[in-house]
Amino acid sequence: MLQAPKRTALSGPTLIRLLARLTDLDVPESRQSLSDRLSQWLGWTDAIALSSALNGSPPVVAAGARAFGSVEENECARVRTALVRAIADDGAAPVVRRRGTAKVPQNTAAADFPVFRQRCLVIQQAMETDIGLLRGRLRAMLAAKTPAMTRLARVDAVMERALSERERSLLAAVPALLGRHFERLRQAEQASLAAAQASGDAAEATPGAWLDVFRKDMQSVLLAELDVRFQPVEGLLAALRTC
Total structural domains within the chain: 1
When mean pLDDT is compared over 3-12, 94-103, 112-121, the highest value belongs to: 112-121
DSSP designation for 189: H
Average pLDDT over residues 164-175: 93
Q: What percent of the chain has pLDDT over 70?
A: 74
Instruction: Report pLDDT for 146.
Output: 86
Domain that holds residue 175: 44-50+67-241
Q: What is the mean pLDDT of residues 57-84?
A: 79
Residue 74 falls within a domain, yes or no? yes
Helix/strand/coil for 242: coil
Task: Tell me if 138 is assigned to some domain.
Answer: yes
Residue 200 lies inside a defined structural domain of this protein: yes
Res 164 pLDDT > 60: yes
Q: Does residue 227 lie in a domain region?
A: yes
Indicate whether 107 belongs to any domain.
Answer: yes
Q: Quick one: which of 118, 228, 111 has its CA closest to 170?
A: 228
Going by C-alpha positions, the residue among 104, 151, 101 that lies closest to residue 122 is 101
Q: Is residue 229 part of a domain?
A: yes
User: Which residues fall within 8 angstroms of residue 165, CB to CB, at 6 or more apart?
Assistant: none
Q: Tell me if 12 is assigned to some domain.
A: no
Predicted pLDDT at 201: 64
Q: What is the pLDDT of residue 6?
A: 45
- The model's pLDDT over 201-242, given as tens digits with 9 standing for 90+, comes to 655 556 678 999 999 999 999 999 999 999 999 999 999 998
Q: What is the DSSP letter of 101?
A: P
pLDDT at 52 over 80: yes
Q: What interhelical angle do 113-143 and 209-241 show, nearest 10?
A: 10
Lowest-confidence pick of 48-52, 81-85, 175-179: 48-52
pLDDT at 240: 92
Q: For the chain, how many helices (H) and strands (E)? A: 9, 0
Whether the pLDDT of residue 93 is over 80: the answer is: no
pLDDT at 39: 75
pLDDT (0 to 100) of residue 1: 33
Can you tell me the distance from the alpha carbon of 138 to that of 238, in angstroms, rounded to the nearest whole number? 11
Residue 3, in any domain of the structure: no
- What digits encode the pLDDT tens for the residues 99-137? 444 455 555 545 689 999 999 999 999 999 999 999 999
Distance CA 147, CA 173 (A): 39
